[in-house]
Structure formats: structure tokens, C-alpha cells
Structure 1
Amino acid sequence: MEQVKCESNPSDQPPQYSLPHTTTTMGGTYGSSPYSPPAQYSHTTIITAPVSQQMDRSLWSSGLCACMTECSSCLLTAFCTVCFTANLATRMGESCLYGYCCAPHFASTARPYFRGKENIVGSLAGDCCIGFWCGCCNICQISRELDRRGYPKGCMC
């Protein structure tokens, strides 16, 4: 087998670093000097990442208990909650069966989903509390917000 020796320009090769001086004792190996690259290596790599821009956050267009501004959604929620949640699900792009068969689950998950999608100020803890204790007012507020933001009406009112 023949060995071939390649000659190259030293500037084309990355610099070779030597390991720091180490001392071996019974307890193990300890470094006696910090690692530092040779002085001839001066290439610097700077990694930058895009800075996220602060997005404009909006507020709900109506209060949680502002049901009297639109009585139809308040009455539908009070007397036929599953029908109203099915309608709300279709307005939000979900299956009406999700709103009809899983109304309590839909009512608790629709708020954080919609709030995140539309960049509305709030918190997940607040969304959970409102979904649990104020379910009817919650879905009415979401319906009013869908109306204000121009979402299609759905199959009811």
C-alpha cells in the first residue's frame, strides 16, 4: 500500500489546539491551566437570532357580563346551551358535533384558543376560572367578539 502525502497551505487548515496541562493524582485528573486558543487564531463567530416584535394586544370588546347588549345569545345560551355551543363551534371552524356533544369541554377550551388566536390580553388561569364558573357568560362573550371581528354568523342567529 502506497502512502500519499498531501501538502496544503497552513491558512486553509483550522488551527490545532493542544490540551491544557493536566496533573494526575490518586483522586483523578485536574487541569492546572484554563483552556485558551493559540494567539494566531482570531476568527470570531457571532450568532444572532431575530428579536420577536411586541405584537399589539387587544382587549375584549365587551365585558363578561354584558349579555344585555345582545339578548339573543343570552337567551339561547340560557335555554339551549348545546345548540348555541354547536353554532359557536361552527363559527370558529370546528365541527358542530364538537360543540353539541362536548359542550362543557368546548366552552372551557374555546376561550384560550380564541384569545390566543386573536391576541387578546388574558391568562390561562383566568380562562379556566371563567370557563368553569361563568360558562354561559363566557360563550356569550366569545360570540359577541366573533361578531365584532367579522366572523360568519353560523347556522343560528
Structure 2
Amino acid sequence: MASKMVIRQPQPVMVTQDSDEWGSGICDCTQDMSECCFAFWCLPCFACSTSKKYGQCLCLPLLDVFSGLISPVTMSMRVSMRERYGIKDTICRDCVYSTFCVPCSWCQMSREMRRRKIPIVLISSKTT
């Protein structure tokens, strides 16, 4: 009878931060003052860079300029982010934040992307 040696290669380990809540509140902009100032003083630039980091078109947030009272791109990004990360919230709240708290909303989305970034740690094994 022949013996067979099976060697398993190490698999990537994913560390996730599963939560169905936003990682920070809408008014927690002061957690990162440089980001807060960037969003307050140059919201179009901040929104475009955040959109690009999220994997969307760089200039997508500039379309909010052509809208009326509600910022449709900001609201769509919030809804998309909630769906991607499994955050429980309401479309009504997204609408209110996207209308009256646009800089704070973009800051919250940026913080959430940093918080939810999933690192992959490769584990190596050495045979002795």
C-alpha cells in the first residue's frame, strides 16, 4: 500500500469588521480634522477623491451641481455604501443627510471606507 502525503498551502485570512451600523456618526467629522477641513473648504474635490477611492468615476459627484435641492449622487453613494457594507439605515435618513449635511455625509462615507477596508494577511509556513 502506497502512502500519500498531502500538503495544504496556507490560505489568505480575511479580517472583517462585521457591523450593521455606521462606524461613526454623521457629526463625528472631528475624528479626522484634516479630512473635515478639506471637505468643508473644498467639497467638490473631497467628494471626487472619495468617489474615486470607492471605485466610481472621479467626476461623478460634480453632477450634484446640476440638481435641485437634493444631491442625487451623494444620496446614491450613501445607499450604495450601505448596501455594500450591510449597514442598516433608511432611505429617508440618506435623503435628509444628502440634502442638509452634504460635507458631513461625504466625511462619514470616507471614514467608513477606511474602517471597512479588509486587509488580507498571507500566512507562510516553513517546513523544517
TM-score by length of 1: 0.56
Q: Which amino acid aligns with 2:94?
A: D
In 1, Cα distance between equivalents of 2:21 and 2:37: 25
In 1, Cα distance between equivalents of 2:61 and 2:95: 17
TM-score by length of 2: 0.68
Provide the secondary structure at the position in 2 that maps to 1:63: coil
1:78 correspondence with 2:40: yes
1:68 correspondence with 2:35: no
8 Å CA contact 1:88, 1:99 repeated in 2: no
In 1, Cα distance between equivalents of 2:20 and 2:33: 24
In 2, Cα distance between equivalents of 1:124 and 1:84: 23
Q: Which amino acid aligns with 1:69?
A: Q
Higher relative contact order (CA 8 A, sep 6+): 2
Deviation at 1:102, TM superposition (A): 3.6
Aligned residues: 96
Alignment root-mean-square deviation, CA: 1.8
Q: Deviations over 1:85-123 (max 9, x none)?
A: 110111111110112344643222111111011110101
1:99 maps to what in 2?
61
Provide the secondary structure at the position in 2 that maps to 1:96: coil
Structure with higher helix content = 2
1:43 maps to what in 2?
none
Q: Which amino acid aligns with 1:144?
A: R
Provide the secondary structure at the position in 1 that maps to 2:23: coil
Deviation at 1:133, TM superposition (A): 1.1
Percent identical residues = 27
2:86 maps to what in 1?
119
In 2, Cα distance between equivalents of 1:123 and 1:87: 25
Equivalent positions of 1:25-44 (< 5 A) are none
- Structure 1: gaps (5+ residues): 1-55, 152-157
